[in-house]
Chains A and B, each alone.
Chain A
Amino acid sequence: MGEVIVVTSGKGGVGKTTTAANMGTGLALKGKSVVLVDADIGLRNLDVVMGLENRIVYDLVDVVEGVCRLRQALIKDKRYPNLYLLPAAQTKDKNAVNPEQMQKLTGDLTEEFDYVILDCPAGIEQGFKNAIAGANKAIVVTTPEVSAVRDADRIIGLLESSGLRNPMLIINRIKMEMVKRGDMMNIDDMIDILAIDLLGVVPDDDLIVVSTNKGEPVIALEQSLAGQAYRNIVRRLTGEDVPFMNLQSEDGFFAKVAKLFGLNKKR
């Protein structure tokens, strides 16, 4: 039986889809069988982020409504071993499926895959309820901004009251030079406020935009800092104990790279 992980955030635009895409790809690169499920019905995007948008025939709603078999709707990503995508419907809305149907769907998927990764829509309404219905693990993505952290806090409360205990946090798009001069909340600030376990910290990285432009997950890029952060997250997910990249210390990996790129201006 596979694990069903929902990637959620409350607020939109914090990097749920990018996180789901990179986690899925990373797990597949580690030899796991993975299916990425786009639960954002009506606003699908996991397909374009993965570069698989031209291969969609059937979607999640078709499967739920019995228009096609589950196998027929799964798109195999030929670049990676054992990575599949189940795209969302684009022309329907979130009420096209209900939580019971999602539970059944994720249940069926766990029989075939080691990991089922659900990309949750923004918000706390029907789409959110659908996405978390079949999950047995939750990952909350936030950025170091008051709006995103506030929404993350709300989502954590909703997850816990829905029985998804101990969600894990990914802090996305942290800018080391802003943290250094005290103009961006640091990791400790956010852990202190949200009081959940940290799964990873992903630095702001232009290569995310470049890789998304191309439809290639950044985790496969050796030189990318964000890619490195995602590789660490995947290793932690599979039970490895990986230390967090050092953001604060001058001798840390980040500082060295920052110096390399001339970001490390003393103030």
Chain B
Amino acid sequence: MDFFKLFGRSGSSKDIAKERLKLVLIHDRANVSPQFLEMIKGELIKVISDYMEIDEAGLEVKLTRTKREIDDSTVPALVANIPIKRMKDKGKF
């Protein structure tokens, strides 16, 4: 059986393997569960909502890797992408 034909020719399967591995290892290495990320997400929404109206459906919180500036070593990083709909008056000074 030719698995290559089975799954079509779009993108080599090793690239898929590599991407999936990279993602899963970020979580493995930081020892963080998806539930934990959901918790952080909930808390972020709570705090930020006081100051601005945000698009909760579009909010994205993920763990990724980044190079540390001091020694170039790779460390986990928490990245939050929070689309803002409107600033609330409370947030303006």
Chain A residues, CB < 8 A from B3: 183
Task: Kindly state whether residue B14 has any CB partner on chain A within 8 Å.
Answer: yes
Chain A residues, CB < 8 A from B22: 193
Task: Kindly state whether residue A224 has any CB partner on chain B within 8 Å.
Answer: no
**Interface residues of A toward B: which range?**
10 to 19
Task: Kindly state whether residue B69 has any CB partner on chain A within 8 Å.
Answer: no
Task: Kindly state whether residue A153 has any CB partner on chain B within 8 Å.
Answer: yes
- Chain B interface helix/strand/loop/mixed: helix
Among candidates B12, B14, B20, B25, residue contacting A153 with C-beta atoms closer than 8 Å? B25
Task: Kindly state whether residue B13 has any CB partner on chain A within 8 Å.
Answer: yes
Chain A residues, CB < 8 A from B17: 145-146, 185
State whether B15 touches A182 (Cβ < 8 A). yes
Task: Kindly state whether residue B29 has any CB partner on chain A within 8 Å.
Answer: yes
Given contacts A150-B24, A154-B28, A157-B29, contact A183 B13 (CB under 8 A): yes
Q: Separation in Å of the A250 CB from the closest CB of chain B? A: 19
Given contacts A150-B28, A153-B29, A195-B74, contact A183 B21 (CB under 8 A): no
Among candidates B12, B20, B21, B28, residue contacting A182 with C-beta atoms closer than 8 Å? B12
Task: Kindly state whether residue A149 has any CB partner on chain B within 8 Å.
Answer: yes
Interface size on B, residues (CB 8 A): 16
Task: Kindly state whether residue A186 has any CB partner on chain B within 8 Å.
Answer: yes
Among candidates B4, B13, B15, B25, residue contacting A193 with C-beta atoms closer than 8 Å? B25
Task: Kindly state whether residue A266 has any CB partner on chain B within 8 Å.
Answer: no
Closest partner residue, chain A, to B29 (CB atom):
A157
Task: Kindly state whether residue B18 has any CB partner on chain A within 8 Å.
Answer: yes
Q: Separation in Å of the A194 CB from the closest CB of chain B? A: 9
Closest partner residue, chain A, to B12 (CB atom):
A182
What sequence of 0s and 1s flags, for each residue 51-93 of chain B, a beta carbon within 8 Å of any chain A beta carbon?
0000000000000000000000010000000000000000000
Q: Separation in Å of the A149 CB from the closest CB of chain B? A: 6
Given contacts A150-B28, A181-B4, A183-B4, contact A193 B12 (CB under 8 A): no
* Alpha-carbon distance A182/B20, docked complex (angstroms): 15
* Alpha-carbon distance A213/B44, docked complex (angstroms): 60
Q: Separation in Å of the B71 CB from the closest CB of chain A? A: 14
Task: Kindly state whether residue A112 has any CB partner on chain B within 8 Å.
Answer: no
Chain A residues, CB < 8 A from B18: 185, 189, 192-193
Of residues 188 to 203 in A, which have CB atoms within 8 Å of B's CB atoms?
A: 189, 192-193, 195
